[in-house]
């Protein structure tokens, strides 16, 4: 899970530094892992897809944190 988390944050460039965005990524990865997904690439992809499907949430948090 740690590998997937770091890769997802790195993919988000500046937004991945915002603490709230990092928390959202972690929550998505933990949720996917609790449902049985263990592949780091799929965990990362699922977290990033969630962010992409909810840009208004992620953008709002990123702007507030920066």
Q: Where are the alpha helices (DSSP H) in 1-66?
A: 2-11, 19-34, 40-53, 55-65
pTM: predicted TM-score of the whole model, two decimal places = 0.74
59 Cβ contact list (under 8 Å, min separation 6): 15
pLDDT per residue over 18-45, tens digit each?
788 888 899 999 999 999 999 999 999 9
C-alpha distances in angstroms, 51 versus 46, 57, 60?
9, 8, 12
Q: Inter-axis angle of helices 55-65 and 19-34, to 10 degrees?
A: 140
Residue 56 pLDDT grade (very low, low, confident, very high; cuts 50, 70, 90): confident
């Amino acid at each position: 899970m740690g590998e997937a988390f770091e890769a997802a944050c790195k993919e988000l460039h500046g937004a991945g530094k915002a603490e709230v965005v990092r928390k959202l990524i972690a929550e998505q990865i933990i949720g996917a892992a609790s449902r049985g997904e263990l592949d780091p690439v799929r965990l990362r992809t699922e977290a990033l897809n969630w962010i992409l499907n909810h840009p208004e949430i992620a953008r709002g948090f990123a702007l507030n944190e920066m």
